[in-house]
Structure 1
Amino acid sequence: MTTERRMPAFDADERTMLEGWLDFHRQTLAVKCEGLTDAQLRTAAVEPSALSLMGLVRHMADVERSWYRRVLAEEKAPPLYFGDADPDGEFHLTDADTWQEAYATWQAEIGAARQAAAGFGLDDLSKGRHRRTGERISLRWIHTHMIEEYARHNGHADLIRERIDGATGN
């Protein structure tokens, strides 16, 4: 699989620009994972951290699910990889966890996020509420937060990938 990463348009309207940057960062995380074995994708950043590329992809699947399905659309969509017993479960990989499953789940959540967002304007408020503040949130805020979330974790992914095989950039 080779991920094509597209730069957002330089002269787009606001929604197209936000969604373009969000897709760019989604694609960046995919690029950071390409060409690695399951074992490499499980490689932790540095002890004692459990942070790995597969863990980051699982984390982002849950983040997509949380903001777009649970908050924006107010769907009943329980967490995929974590829970009360293990709040960081997405990073605690077992032998049964595979890249194929993690990637497919992440892509499915991206598709569900796009579908949920399509029903809202940038200024429209979420049907659900922020879990900490109880406030309803605009799609603009969610898109902006997701760009920030991916950008931060893509920095982590860059360092993890460099540690695994020396690849940098992209």
Structure 2
Amino acid sequence: MTDDSRTTPSMTAGDRASLTAFLDYQRATLAMKCRGLTGNQLKRRAVPTSGLSLLGLVRHAAEVERSWFGMVVNGEDLKALWPRVDGELADFQVEDADTDEAFAFWGEACEASRAAADAVGSLDDTVDFRGETISLRYVLTHMIEEYARHNGHADLLREAIDGEVGE
């Protein structure tokens, strides 16, 4: 991948700056994996044994951002952008999906997530969500893990689509 415009996280930053920078780096990695592909390529389930597509990962990322930062951190009552179909996550059902809409929703969700995290005083501040006590530190760490896992999927998908590889 030749266009790597990601910002590398600092090796000496404090906890909060490190966590938010690594999360932004992971977000930028998913965007990089999608860059330069057509709508049909983004929708392609490029690994025969999997129902995943790059566009499905983007839609899933939008939902996860909204869930963890909107619902958990902010306490908002949000409905899914793509409600479940027959008990399955509709995020990944992209045959008729609007590519531009998915990327717009994801971008908006990331901005709202950054604002939600910025509004919390400390990484150790907690919220009660469905009987669990959850800190901002946990949410940020979980989101980094979520993106890192799915960026591994994105690596494989992109390579299968057009042979592009890279971190």
CA drift at 1:119: 1.4
Please give the alpha-carbon distance, in whole angstroms, between the structure 2 residues aligned to 1:141 and 1:157: 24
2:28 matched residue in structure 1: 27
Partner of 2:37: 36
TM-score, normalised with respect to structure 2: 0.92
CA contact (8 A) 1:3 1:30 kept: no
User: Structure 1: where are the runs of 5+ without partners?
Assistant: none
Q: Distance in 2 between matches of 1:150 and 1:108?
A: 17
Distance 2:164 2:4 in 1: 16
Deviation string for 1:58-78 (max 9, x for gaps)? 000000000000011101111
**Per-residue Cα deviation, 1:8-37 (whole angstroms, up to 9, x for no partner):** 011111100000000000000000000000
More displaced stretch, 22-31 vs 80-89: 80-89
Query: 1:82 and 1:44 mapped to 2: Cα distance?
Result: 20
Runs of 4+ in 1 over 6 A off after TM superposition: none
Across the aligned residues of Structure 1 and Structure 2, the Cα RMSD in angstroms comes to 1.5
Identify the residue that residue 168 of structure 1 maps to in structure 2. 165
- Counterpart of 2:111? 111
Q: Are positions 1:5 and 2:2 aligned together?
A: no
79-88 or 150-159: which moved more?
79-88
- Of 121, 145, 148, 2:145 maps to 148
- Counterpart-to-counterpart distance in 2, 1:105 and 1:3: 23
Could you say which structure has the higher strand fraction?
2
TM-score by length of 1: 0.91
* CA-CA distance at 1:87 after TM superposition: 2.8
1:52–1:91 Cα contact (<8 Å) kept: yes
How do 1:112-131 and structure 2 match up within 5 A?
112-120=112-120, 121-126=122-127, 128-130=128-130
